[in-house]
Structure 1
Amino acid sequence: MTYPDICVDVLVIGAGPTGLGAAKRLNQLREVSWLLLDSSETPGGLASTDITAEGFLYDVGGHVIFSHYKYFDDCLNEALPREGDWYTHQRVSYVRCKDLWIPYPFQNNISMLPKDDQVNCMNGMIDAALEARVPNKKPQNFDEWILRMMGKLLFFFAILPIAREGIADIFMRPYNFKVWAVPTTKMQCEWLGERVAAPDLKTVTKNVILQKPAGNWGPNATFRFPANGGTGGIWIAVADTLPPCNLRLGAKGTVERVDAEAKIVILKGGKTIGYQRLVSTMPVDSLAEKMGDKELVSMTKALSYSTTHVVGIGLRGVRPENIGDKCWLYFPEDDCPFYRATIFSNYSPNNQPQASVRLPTIRRADGTGPGGHGPKKGPYWSLMMEISESSMKPVNEGRIVEDTIKGCINTNLIGADAEIVSTYHRRFDHGYPTPTLERDGVLKQLLPKLQAKGIYSRGRFGSWKYEVGNQDHSFMLGVEAVDNILHGATELTLNYPDFVNGRANVERSLTEGKAVLSTFPTN
């Protein structure tokens, strides 16, 4: 029998939000031995931040901090306790449609569309509302949900049928294809919850008559962002609150293989770690491969995901007036490759170089030469765009930066003569876990099979549930996995997404005791 080099009670793979959530809870409870591994030298996972040579910061996509959990807030406030560690923003978000900026969510703000489009959208919503009065089966996929809630129109003028666009075709279908890289007909609708605003016909009608926009909607209407280091700075700070002796990062924390039968993890270089329980936050399809379990590998083949490309553009000059205080913007139309753009420089003045820094202009946005000679001072501002990729939506990676810059010109984000001083591109293979029609059936078999082997696969791609894939959810998936391992507590976030998203979850606290939930809350 071969004995491992090290043995711990609980081994955690991954130092992103889920792994750090598990580690924080293990360190707080101090009931068992534990160790955290990650192949990256820097904590953060999919919530990390890159910095370009010129000094522009870019997150792995559009991350902001808003929370459903007191415990999550406690941990972040412990890591970054000073008032100056954070900026608090009111979300200012728009949809670019028909050369207009329509306030988000689009379906609540059709009062801002041209009159003909207002009529088309209202007719579609009225038809959908009338149809919904008749008892019917629930929508079978996301596309049916869209039509049930928002409608689609076909008008007949004279002899020829003329399709008139309602909300489904103006926004919901094209935008969601750009995000998910699969048609809405291939997606389920159980994941929607607080993610997609279902329009209220009376409110929309009132706003159309009064010609006013709707108020802010959703859990991220107000959000926090760190003053320094981007989103990744949060998770570096959280990791710094943990004992260094319990962390193995970089090459010494790289997992090569998982022997589930022997309960041993083999690291790069051959070191072995034994465990009683394993919390894995790597993508569950990667976990199955590292386990060498053909049955599990076959099951994970039915799970779908999209790849995310993040493209950043650093610009010299004063931020354009039409950009103003906007936070992030949505793009359903085909005049640009990206589905979302974030004005990343608006989140913190430290997300870009200070105005005194001298940088050369590398090009104008239209591709012409920089003009002038040598480095110049700022001020500077930045844009961060996200582009999805899948087998159904291929991307020309060699042209993605150029196509993104052209898209920024087309959508009036920048002018053709804008001075570009920095560009950034990074591809993240696992970007979005797609809530396909098959997903829940796979997870209901896959996760229990792993748990029967002592493996808790949790996190954005560990448990593959987008509806609980934000940073607060991901963190608490790790916390709750530990409470289940140690005390049999209910994993509410994993099993009851709508429940945790619809309440203030205040049962756990970092500073006031160690309460766990062994039963379902009654309030």
Structure 2
Amino acid sequence: MASNGVEKVGVLIVGSGPTGLGAATRLNQLGHPNWLLVDKEADAGGLACTDVTPEGFLFDMGGHVIFSHYQYFDDLLDTAVGQGDAAWNTLERVSYVWLKDRWVAYPFQNNISALDKEDQIKCLAGVVDAKVANAVAQGKPKNFDEWIMRVMGPGIADLFMRPYNFKVWAVPTTMMQCDWLGERVATVDVDRAIANVINNKEDAGWGPNAVFRFPLEGGTGGIWKKVAKLLPPERQRYGCQLAGLDKDKQVATFADGRQVAYDALISTIPLDITLRWLGQSEWADGLQHSSSHIIGFGIRGRCPHGLKCWLYFPEDNCPFYRVTVFSHYAKKNCPADGTKLPTLCKADGSGPDSSEAAEGPYWSLMFEVSESNYKPVAQQPTKLGGSAVAAQGTWPAVVAETLAGALATQLMQPGDEVVSVYHRRLEHGYPTPSLGRDGVLKQALPWLRKHNIWSRGRFGSYKYEVANQDHSLMLGVECVDNILFGTQELTLEHPNIVNPRKNLEMKYTREPVMPGLLASAKPMSAQEN
């Protein structure tokens, strides 16, 4: 403690999500003598946390799964959670699009064989025309919408890509750039698409997360709580909300009045908030984000959806864009079968047949709904389906709309018994790859760096293309190496290097990350699995 009552640390980390924990892990690994991790919440996890309903159903803050481009990430999670079947479920992604009252395998653009003949013709004609037009097109696409048209044509664009992406991002595709795409959106192999239609073949399995793992218990948030337990508890401080920054004096002020001076600050709070604190509102105004509503239903009975994992919904007969069959990921995402719970309402909103608690088994669905000024969400208090069941209480209208949408899309049946309801709104849900984003980042991040502030993470650096959990952790790790040794931040600066699918087999790594290991930093290298 400094003589003026201001606490002094070498590196201050704000936020205990994957980025903050990655930074803290690296500092601890290197034996750094003076660092502190703070978070406004009571536990570690950030946007990768997991909530538990009073009835015992777990819900993540979105459809998180574990897949990785980095051996360092894998080593850390295996150290924290454990290895193999004793700690993880390994699942194959079984993912579909619900469109025109049928399931179409994901990715949609490879599976137009599932559509009606009229839609097949529109989509294939558009793909062929797009291939011809793109061959002579001048320059790069100006925005995401133009990229869609160049790659997929109007058929797929109008049937799926435009409506679905508006539901995800809550902004029109014309207002988004396309440099973020990388491996996240499958392009179209014209010959393959035609062959699939002729052979009536389902063609799934594309993408970096075709196989993923999920912890047996605790949800995604349980992973990060265990990572935090690898770190010295005296260097972690929870329930400690940052209230302001003095960039010149390098002092952080917290809501309880406490002040901490730092040599280097690693901030994972949203960049737009940081910039407004520091008087850079014009830059902040150039960044866009959408909010997310996470809605969950715990249901009595056995799941009727087989091995389905997560599902996409482009149409306007439901408010959600993605649904996760969360009970499929881990048995302990639901209460034990023998747990007795009362029915709150039926899926059609009507009251229960009995007020008596009954046993399971149970299953669960987790829904994601986006919100922005372009796409408002109904939030006035309402009863589910107008039911007068006292036990269910009132919820934002979007919850009732989601339940109705689950019926419209055949995810649930009218008589299904809902035993648990969950809702949480995240103001910062998705960092939008807007047309003006990169111009802001090129000015704002170096400006902050000159003031010894490293703004990193899903919202700290606002790069959706490196915003998965593995990316986020490595943004923290590489940030520490940059602070201490001047090492290049490969993930932040070169997403196109760390993201290609081949890097899932040739993973980027630093030295192993066992607890207590003190090792000198090395440049990022490639390591065969």
- Return the TM-score normalized by structure 1: 0.94
Counterpart of 1:276 in structure 2 is: 263
Q: Is the 8 A contact 1:55 1:353 kept in 2?
A: yes
Counterpart of 1:457 in structure 2 is: 455
Q: Is the 8 A contact 1:338 1:387 kept in 2?
A: yes
Say if 2:416 is the partner of 1:400: no
1:206 to 166, 181, 195: 195
Counterpart of 1:156 in structure 2 is: none
Q: Does the residue aligned with 2:136 lie in a helix, a strand or coil?
A: coil
Q: Does the residue aligned with 1:66 lie in a helix, a strand or coil?
A: coil
1:327 to 299, 304, 309: 309
How has the CA–CA distance of structure 1 residues 507 and 49 changed in structure 2, closer, same or farther, with 3 Å as cutoff?
Answer: closer
2:146 to 135, 144, 152: 144
Say if 2:14 is the partner of 1:13: yes
Hey, which bits of structure 1, 4+ residues long, moved more than 6 A?
Answer: 519-523
Q: Which moved more, 1:334-343 or 1:513-522?
A: 513-522
Q: Does the residue aligned with 1:132 lie in a helix, a strand or coil?
A: helix
Counterpart of 2:223 in structure 1 is: 234
Say if 2:342 is the partner of 1:360: yes
Counterpart of 1:91 in structure 2 is: 93
Q: Alpha-carbon deviation of 1:515?
A: 6.2
Counterpart of 2:66 in structure 1 is: 65
How has the CA–CA distance of structure 1 residues 389 and 514 changed in structure 2, closer, same or farther, with 3 Å as cutoff?
Answer: same
How has the CA–CA distance of structure 1 residues 507 and 419 changed in structure 2, closer, same or farther, with 3 Å as cutoff?
Answer: closer
For 2:178 and 2:132, locate their aligned partners in 1 and report how far apart those are by CA, in whole Å.
21
Q: Alpha-carbon deviation of 1:269?
A: 2.0
Q: Is the 8 A contact 2:36 2:235 kept in 1?
A: yes
Q: Does the residue aligned with 1:445 lie in a helix, a strand or coil?
A: helix
Counterpart of 1:336 in structure 2 is: 318
Q: Alpha-carbon deviation of 1:6?
A: 1.8
Q: Alpha-carbon deviation of 1:135?
A: 4.4
RMSD: 1.7
Deviations 1:7-28 (A, max 9, x none): 1111100000000000000000
Q: Does the residue aligned with 1:133 lie in a helix, a strand or coil?
A: helix
Gaps of 5+ in 2: 381-396
Q: Does the residue aligned with 2:286 lie in a helix, a strand or coil?
A: coil
Counterpart of 1:267 in structure 2 is: 254
For 2:213 and 2:330, locate their aligned partners in 1 and report how far apart those are by CA, in whole Å.
10
Counterpart of 1:56 in structure 2 is: 57
Gaps of 5+ in 1: 153-165
Counterpart of 2:392 in structure 1 is: none
For 2:71 and 2:526, locate their aligned partners in 1 and report how far apart those are by CA, in whole Å.
15
**What amino acid sits opposite 1:217 in the alignment?**
W
Q: Does the residue aligned with 1:151 lie in a helix, a strand or coil?
A: helix
For 2:90 and 2:108, locate their aligned partners in 1 and report how far apart those are by CA, in whole Å.
24
Q: Is the 8 A contact 1:508 1:515 kept in 2?
A: no
Q: Is the 8 A contact 1:4 1:273 kept in 2?
A: no
Counterpart of 1:155 in structure 2 is: none
How has the CA–CA distance of structure 1 residues 217 and 29 changed in structure 2, closer, same or farther, with 3 Å as cutoff?
Answer: same
Deviations 1:382-434 (A, max 9, x none): 00000000000000013111100000000000001111111111100000000
Q: Is the 8 A contact 1:175 1:331 kept in 2?
A: yes
For 1:228 and 1:407, locate their aligned partners in 2 and report how far apart those are by CA, in whole Å.
29
Counterpart of 2:426 in structure 1 is: 428
How has the CA–CA distance of structure 1 residues 522 and 421 changed in structure 2, closer, same or farther, with 3 Å as cutoff?
Answer: closer
Q: Is the 8 A contact 1:314 1:423 kept in 2?
A: yes
Counterpart of 1:120 in structure 2 is: 122
**What amino acid sits opposite 1:121 in the alignment?**
C
Q: Alpha-carbon deviation of 1:4?
A: 4.9
Say if 2:278 is the partner of 1:293: yes
Q: Does the residue aligned with 2:248 lie in a helix, a strand or coil?
A: coil
For 1:99 and 1:224, locate their aligned partners in 2 and report how far apart those are by CA, in whole Å.
30
- Return the TM-score normalized by structure 2: 0.93
Q: State the identity %.
A: 53
Q: Is the 8 A contact 2:340 2:359 kept in 1?
A: yes
For 1:336 and 1:96, locate their aligned partners in 2 and report how far apart those are by CA, in whole Å.
11
**What amino acid sits opposite 1:312 in the alignment?**
G
Counterpart of 2:475 in structure 1 is: 477
Q: Is the 8 A contact 2:275 2:283 kept in 1?
A: no
Structure 1 residues 74-223: aligned runs within 5 Å = 74-83=75-84, 84-152=86-154, 166-223=155-212
Q: Does the residue aligned with 1:426 lie in a helix, a strand or coil?
A: strand
Q: Which moved more, 1:126-135 or 1:491-500?
A: 126-135
Q: Alpha-carbon deviation of 1:293?
A: 2.2
Q: Which moved more, 1:79-88 or 1:136-145?
A: 79-88
